[in-house]
A and B are shown apart, each in its own frame.
Chain A
Amino acid sequence: MTITVAGNEKEYDAGLTVTTLIAAEEVETPEYVTVSINDEFVASGDFETTTLKDGDNVEFLYFMGGGR
């Protein structure tokens, strides 16, 4: 299946969970990433049970603490 991850189209096997995707995409600080699928947030407690489907649009939102 084809999904869009952070704006880029990617091929993944069906049945992919958010947890597996986070590992496959080598997300930095995976414990603290916010995930949205098709512009809806996924609760972090649901990462393991949420499966992606063809055409899904996934975004990772990262804490960025610097500024001064």
Chain B
Amino acid sequence: MAFTNEQMERYSRHIILSEVGVKGQKKLLNSKVLIIGAGGLGAPVGMYLAAAGVGTIGIADADTVDLSNLQRQVIHTTADVGKPKVESAKETMLAINPDITVNTYHEFVLASNIADIVKDYDFVIDGTDNFPAKFLINDACVLAKKPFSHAGIIRFQGQLMTYVPGEGPCYRCVFKSPPPPDAVPTCSQAGVIGAMGGVIGSLQAMEAIKYIIGKGELLTGQLLTYDALKMEFRKIKLPHGDHCAVCGKEPTITELFDYEQAVCGVNYDE
């Protein structure tokens, strides 16, 4: 596949990088990334991956755009309120870059459908807002041997880690099972500074891009934490959980299941 003149111009700042070049840009155009959650994290991830020319982007979210989303979910605009988030996100991504394909999944990601969605993608982004979904994404990616970026944000804090099959611990190695509903505050209860999604989501997009082009070091075996008030980034080394229930030597989780969904406040949406 030869680049068109328009593609050469559009991706010129990538192509000029020795780590990317024509070869890396082709890898991006041939890659497929699934974003689960079209919110605070999914918004910047989707926009940067679309702009970068990730050829196929899947976006999964069951919700519609709410006015309270717009403080941070920059992929949606005021005119999108009431519209399915996946549609609004698709429109923005295609407006940024009509060179790509966007697949939408206007549904909750559950044990019953996640394996079927994940199987078509090279890399998965966890942009969800609840622990049942985060554990499900982890288990599905471990069982399907798919790399993924986990992230969480709250208040002025964020964190992320990258799972690559066979190259380090999974989310469940660190956190064995979800906390009970309401035991740990969520964004709708505790708030989140809007730009936090931008910082952490952009880092998730960076991990996906590095994985696709095969350059640099990923956050495998490391949790990167960010404290915006202290303006401090820290990398915490994560040991592999040999006894991990899903990726350990003797796994007890061999098929997917749903934890009870913790509903956040009146509206499930954050």
A contact set with B: CB distance below 8 Å: 6-7, 29, 31-32, 34, 36, 39-41, 59, 61-68
Contacts and interface: CB of A to CB of B under 8 A. Distances in A.
A34 B175 contact: yes
A65 B154 contact: yes
A67 B128 contact: yes
Interface in B186-210: 186-187, 190, 192, 197
B237 interface: yes
A21 B124 CA distance: 37
Contact of A32 (B130, B151, B183): B183
Contacts, number: 94
B127 A6 contact: no
Contact of B41 (A34, A59, A68): A68
B58 interface: no
B175 A63 contact: yes
B152 A64 contact: yes
B239 A41 contact: yes
A50 B239 CA distance: 18
Contact of B154 (A40, A59, A61, A66): A66
Contact of A59 (B61, B158, B236): B236
Interface of B: 37-42, 61, 63, 69, 73, 126-131, 134, 151-154, 157-159, 173-175, 179, 183-187, 190, 192, 197, 223, 234, 236-239, 241, 269-270
B184 A68 contact: no
Contacts of A41: 173-174, 239, 241
B183 to A, nearest CB: 6
B186 A66 contact: yes
Contacts of A34: 174-175
Contact of B131 (A36, A40, A63, A68): A63
A36 B152 contact: no
Contacts of B234: 6-7
A40 B221 CA distance: 12
Nearest to B155: A66
B37 A67 contact: yes
A40 B152 contact: no
Contacts of A64: 151-154, 157-159
A39 B157 CA distance: 22
Given A41-B174, A41-B239, 12 more contacts: A39-B237, A41-B241, A61-B175, A63-B175, A64-B159, A65-B130, A65-B134, A66-B129, A66-B270, A67-B128, A67-B187, A68-B39
Given A32-B183, A63-B184, A68 B241 contact: no
Given A7-B234, A32-B179, A67 B184 contact: no
